[in-house]
Structure 1
Amino acid sequence: MRPLLRFISYIPLLALTLSVNADDLSQDEALRLRELGRIMPLENLLSIVQARHPASRLLEVELEEDDDIYIYEVELITRDGTVRELEIDASTGQLLKDEEDD
């Protein structure tokens, strides 16, 4: 299976990883924001992540709000086994952070 298709096959599991903490948004809120056009579709996010880290495997995605800015926080494992954390502006797709996770 092509890496992007394998990556996208995780989409049904992403809903399970959206947790509800103080800054995290619920699945219902994420859907509402997507329908309003305030955040990009998850498929677009996955394309950005896959382009930056080909053949990586998705571990977790959270949608957070910080001062009215929506941020996708993505945790993945690269093909060499390194766990990375990315933050991507959920409205624009701009990469805000890409670092090795401790």
Structure 2
Amino acid sequence: MKFRRSTMLLLLLACGFASVPGQARDLDQDEALRLRREGVIMPFEQLMLHVAQAYPDSTLLEAELEEEDGVLVYEVEILTTAGVVRELELDARDGRVLKDEEDD
């Protein structure tokens, strides 16, 4: 997987909070770091190993940590070696793939 640690940390942050019920709430960098330190979520680097197994040599385009209906989810966009952009949602606690689809 082609990405740098500093790029991943920058991509992890999301700005603002959703105020409408039922929508995802983006977590800021301080909250993400706290959850990682407390062991609530997997380290992003470890989670991306799962993605690299499914899509070897893919390129990370974007990543966000969100809370959706009480579940912490990493939303990740990658570019595969075939030139296809895929959007994945991964459970931030265990790396389980919740969604994997081609992005339009």
Runs of 5+ unmatched residues, structure 1: none
Percent identity reads: 53
- 2:82 equivalent to 1:83: no
1:46 positional shift: 1.1
In structure 2, the residue matched to 1:30 is: 32
Q: TM-score, normalised by structure 1?
A: 0.88
Question: Greater share of helix residues, 1 or 2?
Answer: 1
The answer to whether the 8 Å contact 1:10/1:58 transfers is no
Runs of 5+ unmatched residues, structure 2: 19-24
CA distance in 1, matches of 2:98, 2:50: 12
CA distance in 1, matches of 2:37, 2:53: 25
- Post-superposition, which runs of at least 4 consecutive aligned residues in structure 1 deviate over 6 A? none
Aligned runs of 1:14-93 on 2, under 5 Å? Answer: 14-17=8-11, 18-21=13-16, 22=18, 23-93=25-95
For these two proteins, the number of residue pairs brought into alignment is: 96
Q: TM-score, normalised by structure 2?
A: 0.86
